[in-house]
Amino acid sequence: MKQWVLILGCSTGHGGATARKLAEDGYGIIGFHFDRGDIKKEAEAFCEELKGLNDGRAHFFNKNAADSKVMDEFIPQIKEITGGEPLKLLLHSIAFGTTTNFFGERPVTQKQMDMTVHVMGTSLLYWVQKLFDADLLGSGSRVLGLTSEGNYLCMDGYGPVSVAKVALESITRQIGWELGQHGITANCIQAGVTPTRALTKISENWEEWIEKTKKRNPMGRTTEPHDVANVVQLMLQPGADFINCSIVYTDGGEHRSGTFV
Protein backbone atom coordinates (compact mmCIF):
# COMPACT_ATOMS: atom_id res chain seq x y z
CA MET A 1 0.00 0.00 0.00
CA LYS A 2 1.34 3.44 -0.94
CA GLN A 3 2.27 6.01 1.68
CA TRP A 4 0.26 9.04 2.77
CA VAL A 5 0.71 12.51 1.34
CA LEU A 6 -0.25 15.81 2.95
CA ILE A 7 -1.56 18.52 0.63
CA LEU A 8 -2.12 22.05 1.90
CA GLY A 9 -4.59 23.70 -0.48
CA CYS A 10 -6.16 20.47 -1.75
CA SER A 11 -9.62 21.49 -2.94
CA THR A 12 -8.90 23.10 -6.29
CA GLY A 13 -6.18 24.32 -8.67
CA HIS A 14 -2.74 22.73 -8.47
CA GLY A 15 -3.35 21.12 -5.08
CA GLY A 16 -6.72 19.73 -6.19
CA ALA A 17 -5.34 18.21 -9.38
CA THR A 18 -2.45 16.70 -7.42
CA ALA A 19 -4.77 15.25 -4.79
CA ARG A 20 -6.82 13.61 -7.55
CA LYS A 21 -3.78 12.27 -9.40
CA LEU A 22 -2.15 10.84 -6.29
CA ALA A 23 -5.43 9.35 -5.05
CA GLU A 24 -5.80 7.60 -8.43
CA ASP A 25 -2.22 6.40 -8.02
CA GLY A 26 -3.10 4.78 -4.68
CA TYR A 27 -1.57 7.24 -2.23
CA GLY A 28 -3.48 8.04 0.92
CA ILE A 29 -4.48 11.71 0.90
CA ILE A 30 -4.59 14.06 3.86
CA GLY A 31 -5.73 17.45 2.65
CA PHE A 32 -6.34 20.89 4.09
CA HIS A 33 -8.36 23.55 2.35
CA PHE A 34 -9.97 26.75 3.53
CA ASP A 35 -13.24 27.36 1.72
CA ARG A 36 -16.09 29.48 2.99
CA GLY A 37 -19.39 30.78 1.54
CA ASP A 38 -20.37 29.78 -1.99
CA ILE A 39 -17.30 27.65 -2.67
CA LYS A 40 -17.55 25.54 0.50
CA LYS A 41 -20.06 23.04 -0.92
CA GLU A 42 -18.14 22.69 -4.15
CA ALA A 43 -14.91 22.02 -2.22
CA GLU A 44 -16.56 19.47 0.04
CA ALA A 45 -18.12 17.67 -2.93
CA PHE A 46 -14.68 17.48 -4.56
CA CYS A 47 -13.17 16.00 -1.39
CA GLU A 48 -15.99 13.43 -1.14
CA GLU A 49 -15.38 12.43 -4.75
CA LEU A 50 -11.70 11.81 -4.02
CA LYS A 51 -12.61 9.47 -1.17
CA GLY A 52 -14.14 7.20 -3.80
CA LEU A 53 -10.85 6.91 -5.71
CA ASN A 54 -8.65 5.14 -3.19
CA ASP A 55 -10.90 3.03 -0.99
CA GLY A 56 -11.56 5.93 1.34
CA ARG A 57 -7.89 6.48 2.21
CA ALA A 58 -8.55 10.20 2.32
CA HIS A 59 -9.11 12.73 5.08
CA PHE A 60 -9.93 16.37 4.48
CA PHE A 61 -10.04 19.33 6.83
CA ASN A 62 -11.59 22.70 6.03
CA LYS A 63 -9.24 24.71 8.24
CA ASN A 64 -6.76 27.56 8.04
CA ALA A 65 -3.59 25.54 7.57
CA ALA A 66 -1.41 28.60 8.14
CA ASP A 67 -2.52 28.81 11.77
CA SER A 68 0.05 27.22 14.08
CA LYS A 69 -2.74 26.18 16.47
CA VAL A 70 -4.27 24.16 13.63
CA MET A 71 -0.89 22.56 12.94
CA ASP A 72 -0.50 21.59 16.62
CA GLU A 73 -4.09 20.33 16.82
CA PHE A 74 -3.92 18.15 13.70
CA ILE A 75 -0.40 16.70 13.76
CA PRO A 76 -1.34 14.02 16.33
CA GLN A 77 -4.34 13.14 14.12
CA ILE A 78 -2.10 12.93 11.05
CA LYS A 79 0.20 10.61 12.98
CA GLU A 80 -2.75 8.42 13.88
CA ILE A 81 -3.89 8.31 10.24
CA THR A 82 -0.46 7.27 8.91
CA GLY A 83 0.09 4.85 11.79
CA GLY A 84 3.25 6.82 12.63
CA GLU A 85 4.76 6.25 9.17
CA PRO A 86 6.47 9.28 7.58
CA LEU A 87 4.58 11.11 4.85
CA LYS A 88 5.77 10.64 1.29
CA LEU A 89 4.96 14.25 0.48
CA LEU A 90 4.15 17.60 1.99
CA LEU A 91 2.85 19.87 -0.78
CA HIS A 92 2.25 23.55 -0.03
CA SER A 93 -0.26 24.78 -2.60
CA ILE A 94 -2.04 27.51 -0.66
CA ALA A 95 -3.20 30.60 -2.53
CA PHE A 96 -4.48 33.29 -0.21
CA GLY A 97 -3.00 36.74 0.05
CA THR A 98 -3.34 40.42 -0.66
CA THR A 99 -2.98 41.50 -4.25
CA THR A 100 -2.28 45.20 -4.34
CA ASN A 101 0.58 47.54 -5.17
CA PHE A 102 3.12 49.01 -2.74
CA PHE A 103 2.12 52.58 -3.70
CA GLY A 104 -0.95 54.33 -5.13
CA GLU A 105 -4.60 54.23 -4.08
CA ARG A 106 -4.41 51.06 -1.96
CA PRO A 107 -0.81 50.71 -0.79
CA VAL A 108 -0.19 47.41 0.95
CA THR A 109 -0.29 47.60 4.75
CA GLN A 110 2.12 45.85 7.09
CA LYS A 111 -0.71 43.59 8.27
CA GLN A 112 -1.54 42.54 4.70
CA MET A 113 2.11 41.94 3.86
CA ASP A 114 2.76 39.90 7.02
CA MET A 115 -0.35 37.79 6.41
CA THR A 116 0.50 37.13 2.75
CA VAL A 117 4.11 36.23 3.43
CA HIS A 118 3.09 33.91 6.25
CA VAL A 119 0.19 32.13 4.54
CA MET A 120 1.94 31.72 1.18
CA GLY A 121 5.51 31.47 2.43
CA THR A 122 6.69 30.95 5.97
CA SER A 123 3.79 28.68 7.01
CA LEU A 124 5.56 25.90 5.08
CA LEU A 125 8.56 26.13 7.40
CA TYR A 126 6.45 25.72 10.55
CA TRP A 127 4.67 22.69 9.10
CA VAL A 128 8.01 21.09 8.26
CA GLN A 129 9.47 21.81 11.70
CA LYS A 130 6.48 20.28 13.44
CA LEU A 131 6.16 17.27 11.12
CA PHE A 132 9.88 16.56 11.39
CA ASP A 133 9.73 16.73 15.20
CA ALA A 134 6.82 14.27 15.09
CA ASP A 135 8.85 11.86 12.87
CA LEU A 136 6.34 12.40 10.09
CA LEU A 137 9.08 13.30 7.62
CA GLY A 138 11.86 10.77 7.07
CA SER A 139 14.06 9.19 4.42
CA GLY A 140 12.33 9.46 1.04
CA SER A 141 9.93 12.22 2.10
CA ARG A 142 9.52 15.15 -0.27
CA VAL A 143 8.67 18.75 0.55
CA LEU A 144 7.35 20.74 -2.40
CA GLY A 145 6.26 24.36 -2.64
CA LEU A 146 4.67 26.15 -5.57
CA THR A 147 6.34 29.23 -6.90
CA SER A 148 5.78 31.44 -9.93
CA GLU A 149 7.58 33.72 -12.31
CA GLY A 150 6.55 36.54 -9.99
CA ASN A 151 9.52 35.53 -7.84
CA TYR A 152 11.75 37.64 -10.09
CA LEU A 153 9.40 39.63 -12.34
CA CYS A 154 7.33 42.64 -11.28
CA MET A 155 3.62 42.54 -12.03
CA ASP A 156 0.75 44.87 -11.22
CA GLY A 157 -0.70 43.99 -7.80
CA TYR A 158 1.59 41.00 -7.32
CA GLY A 159 4.15 42.66 -4.99
CA PRO A 160 3.09 41.02 -1.68
CA VAL A 161 2.75 37.56 -3.29
CA SER A 162 6.11 38.07 -4.96
CA VAL A 163 7.69 38.66 -1.53
CA ALA A 164 5.98 35.46 -0.30
CA LYS A 165 7.34 33.48 -3.27
CA VAL A 166 10.91 34.62 -2.61
CA ALA A 167 10.46 33.56 1.04
CA LEU A 168 8.98 30.22 0.00
CA GLU A 169 11.87 29.50 -2.34
CA SER A 170 14.53 30.35 0.19
CA ILE A 171 12.69 28.29 2.83
CA THR A 172 12.51 25.18 0.62
CA ARG A 173 16.17 25.59 -0.31
CA GLN A 174 17.23 25.81 3.32
CA ILE A 175 14.96 22.90 4.36
CA GLY A 176 16.52 20.71 1.68
CA TRP A 177 19.98 21.83 2.69
CA GLU A 178 19.43 21.05 6.37
CA LEU A 179 17.33 17.89 6.03
CA GLY A 180 19.06 16.34 3.01
CA GLN A 181 21.26 14.39 5.43
CA HIS A 182 18.08 12.55 6.52
CA GLY A 183 17.10 11.68 2.94
CA ILE A 184 14.40 14.38 2.92
CA THR A 185 14.38 16.65 -0.13
CA ALA A 186 12.76 20.05 -0.60
CA ASN A 187 12.12 21.80 -3.90
CA CYS A 188 9.83 24.32 -5.54
CA ILE A 189 7.80 23.73 -8.65
CA GLN A 190 7.57 26.89 -10.73
CA ALA A 191 4.26 26.71 -12.57
CA GLY A 192 3.44 28.94 -15.53
CA VAL A 193 0.32 31.09 -15.64
CA THR A 194 -2.56 28.72 -14.92
CA PRO A 195 -6.28 29.51 -15.14
CA THR A 196 -7.29 28.72 -11.55
CA ARG A 197 -9.47 30.53 -9.04
CA ALA A 198 -6.40 32.26 -7.61
CA LEU A 199 -5.52 33.72 -11.00
CA THR A 200 -8.94 35.32 -11.36
CA LYS A 201 -8.34 37.11 -8.05
CA ILE A 202 -4.94 38.53 -8.94
CA SER A 203 -6.16 40.67 -11.78
CA GLU A 204 -9.44 41.89 -13.28
CA ASN A 205 -7.76 41.41 -16.65
CA TRP A 206 -7.04 37.74 -16.13
CA GLU A 207 -8.68 36.69 -19.41
CA GLU A 208 -6.40 39.01 -21.34
CA TRP A 209 -3.48 37.67 -19.31
CA ILE A 210 -4.36 34.13 -20.39
CA GLU A 211 -4.50 35.11 -24.05
CA LYS A 212 -1.10 36.82 -23.80
CA THR A 213 0.33 33.78 -22.05
CA LYS A 214 -0.82 31.47 -24.84
CA LYS A 215 1.06 33.65 -27.34
CA ARG A 216 4.13 33.87 -25.16
CA ASN A 217 4.34 30.21 -24.18
CA PRO A 218 6.54 28.18 -26.58
CA MET A 219 3.94 25.41 -26.45
CA GLY A 220 1.06 27.72 -27.30
CA ARG A 221 -1.06 27.11 -24.21
CA THR A 222 -1.23 27.95 -20.52
CA THR A 223 -0.08 25.59 -17.81
CA GLU A 224 -2.95 23.45 -16.49
CA PRO A 225 -3.22 22.06 -12.94
CA HIS A 226 -2.77 18.51 -14.28
CA ASP A 227 0.68 19.52 -15.62
CA VAL A 228 1.74 20.30 -12.07
CA ALA A 229 0.11 17.11 -10.74
CA ASN A 230 2.10 15.08 -13.28
CA VAL A 231 5.37 16.65 -12.14
CA VAL A 232 4.56 16.11 -8.47
CA GLN A 233 3.93 12.45 -9.28
CA LEU A 234 7.31 12.28 -11.05
CA MET A 235 9.01 13.89 -8.07
CA LEU A 236 7.74 11.05 -5.87
CA GLN A 237 9.60 8.44 -7.91
CA PRO A 238 12.81 6.97 -6.44
CA GLY A 239 14.65 8.41 -9.46
CA ALA A 240 14.02 11.89 -8.06
CA ASP A 241 15.74 11.11 -4.74
CA PHE A 242 18.72 13.36 -5.56
CA ILE A 243 16.79 16.43 -6.77
CA ASN A 244 17.11 18.81 -3.86
CA CYS A 245 17.12 22.58 -3.16
CA SER A 246 16.00 23.18 -6.76
CA ILE A 247 13.35 24.91 -8.82
CA VAL A 248 11.55 22.52 -11.15
CA TYR A 249 10.04 24.52 -14.02
CA THR A 250 6.62 23.27 -15.07
CA ASP A 251 5.53 25.78 -17.66
CA GLY A 252 6.34 24.50 -21.14
CA GLY A 253 9.30 26.91 -21.28
CA GLU A 254 7.26 30.04 -20.59
CA HIS A 255 9.85 31.54 -18.24
CA ARG A 256 12.35 31.61 -21.13
CA SER A 257 10.15 33.93 -23.22
CA GLY A 258 10.22 37.70 -22.84
CA THR A 259 7.55 39.33 -20.72
CA PHE A 260 5.82 40.97 -23.67
CA VAL A 261 4.70 39.45 -26.94
Enumerate binding residues for ligand NAD (CB under 6 A): 8-15, 32-35, 64-66, 93-96, 119-120, 146, 148, 191, 193-194, 196-199
Tell me how crowded residue 200 is: count the other CB atoms within 10 A of its CB: 13
In the complex, least distance from residue 142 CB atom to ligand NAD, rounded to whole angstroms: 16
Question: Least distance in Å: CB of 199 to ligand NAD?
Answer: 4
Q: Which is nearer to ligand NAD, 211 or 241 (CB)?
A: 211
We find the least distance from the C-beta atom of residue 10 to ligand NAD, in angstroms, to be: 6
Of all residues in the shown chain, the one whose CB is closest to ligand NAD is: 13
Q: Least distance in Å: CB of 181 to ligand NAD?
A: 28
60-63's contacts with Cβ under 8 Å and 24+ in sequence apart are 60/10, 60/11, 60/29, 60/30, 60/31, 60/32, 60/33, 61/31, 61/32, 61/33, 62/32, 62/33, 62/34, 62/35, 63/32, 63/34
Taking the least distance from each CB to ligand NAD, the nearer of 86 and 251 is: 251
Minimal distance, residue 183 CB to ligand NAD, in Å: 26
Q: Residues 149, 100, 114, 77: is their CA dihedral positive or negative?
A: negative
Dihedral sign for Cα atoms in the order 110, 33, 182, 75: positive
Query: Which lies closer to ligand NAD via its Cβ, residue 114 or residue 135?
Result: 114
| Closer of 13 and 252 to ligand NAD (Cβ) | 13
Residue 247 burial (C-beta neighbours within 10 Å; 0-12, 13-18, 19+)? middle
Q: Which is nearer to ligand NAD, 10 or 131 (CB)?
A: 10
Local structure of 190: helix, strand or coil: strand
